[in-house]
Chains A and B, each alone.
Chain A
Amino acid sequence: AQTVTQSQPEMSVQEAETVTLSCTYDTSESDYYLFWYKQPPSRQMILVIRQEAYKQQNATENRFSVNFQKAAKSFSLKISDSQLGDAAMYFCAYRSNSGYALNFGKGTSLLVTP
């Protein structure tokens, strides 16, 4: 089974600053999908961004971008111009091209300070 590791249990960033959340994964597959989900205090899981492993270009969604390093099996999330509403738990997730399950990391709790 694929393992997803988020090595930062907690991170803190000041409003308007940039923060990077790290994620590494272990797989022997060449084709797969990676996701970042956000879970605010309301507990609902919200998709932030996704990346197809066959694409070399890093995905970007407004203030959110990823640094996908396939050889290193690394998938970090960069949040630019951080806002108070970005405060949440962020989960990195892996999905095999041949499977259905999302395999989540343990999450990083992001605190945004004024």
Chain B
Amino acid sequence: EPEVTQTPSHQVTQMGQEVILRCVPISNHLYFYWYRQILGQKVEFLVSFYNNEISEKSEIFDDQFSVERPDGSNFTLKIRSTKLEDSAMYFCASSWGSGKETQYFGPGTRLLVL
């Protein structure tokens, strides 16, 4: 069964450093998403991406964040200058369509900013 994959599974970085989190969505899916979950808190939406542009973003997704689909398979989340509060689990998800279509989640990347 196709699945969303994410790399790395764990990332440790120093405050102020740039990090890139990578995701390979399910191959025939057209919509891509990033969510984050700070330890002990609920899952929060960051951004959705369709047709090579951002379709929706939350207040969390400020200028420090960017997304890109550099080729036909990868979908990346870049954090330009990490802060301590960026420490969280970051989930990538994809769906075939929007609305009722199910979003399938990857296993997550645990980011720790020191």
State the A residues within 8 Å of B (CB).
33, 35, 37, 42-47, 50, 52, 91, 93, 95, 97, 99-107
Contact = CB atoms under 8 A, between A and B. Distances in A.
Contacts, number: 57
Interface string B70-114: 000000000000000000010101000011101111111010000
B106 A44 contact: yes
Interface residues of B, number: 27
Given A45-B105, A102-B33, 8 more contacts: A43-B89, A43-B110, A44-B108, A46-B105, A47-B103, A100-B55, A104-B42, A107-B42
B65 interface: no
Interface secondary structure of B, over-half rule: strand
Interface of B: 31, 33, 35, 41-45, 48, 50, 55-56, 58, 89, 91, 93, 98-100, 102-108, 110
